[in-house]
Amino acid sequence: GENVEQHPSTLSVQEGDSAVIKCTYSDSASNYFPWYKQELGKRPQLIIDIRSNVGEKKDQRIAVTLNKTAKHFSLHITETQPEDSAVYFCAARRSSGSARQLTFGSGTQLTVLP
């Protein structure tokens, strides 16, 4: 089955700096890669996603890049703010199969220092 690895497990940045979180996946049939943000005690919330036919996607201060050949994708947050502090999860899903289930990375605790 799919295996998603995520790095780093913790990341501290100064407010205003950029943050980058990286994930690799094992199943070359995966074609959908969402990123979730989870604040303390809350449910995961989708913040951005990318499909395998696209190399990069941007939404204001958040961007995701995908390298299909290397099987890795990254989340980039620019001009970080204290409210960006949370746990971020990457995930992957293959194009075939009936269950549409996501396989998640282990999470990155991002702390933005004021």
Partner 1 sequence: NAGVTQTPKFRVLKTGQSMTLLCAQDMNHEYMYWYRQDPGMGLRLIHYSVGEGTTAKGEVPDGYNVSRLKKQNFLLGLESAAPSQTSVYFCASSDWDRGLGDYGYTFGSGTRLTVV
Read off the tokens for 31.
């074609």
78/109 with CB nearer partner 1: 109
Calpha distance 74→35 (Å, rounded): 9
34 versus 112: smaller Cβ distance to partner 1: 34
Q: How far is the CB of 18 from partner 1 (least distance, A)?
A: 23
The residues facing 78 across adjacent strands are none
Binding site for partner 1 (CB under 8 A): 1, 4, 6, 9, 32, 34, 42-46, 49, 51, 89, 93, 98-107
In whole angstroms, the minimum distance from the beta carbon of 16 to partner 1 comes to 28
Question: 30 and 52 in contact (C-beta within 8 Å)?
Answer: yes
Nearer to partner 1, 19 or 33 (CB): 33
Q: Closest CB to partner 1 among 50 and 112?
A: 50
The CB-of-42 to partner 1 minimum distance in angstroms stands at: 8
CB 20 within 8 A of CB 73: no
Q: What is the three-class DSSP state of 83?
A: helix
Identify whether the C-beta of residue 24 lies closer than 8 Å to the C-beta of residue 13: no
Provide, rounded to whole angstroms, the least separation between the CB of residue 99 and partner 1.
5
Token pair 């995908």 is at which residue? 66
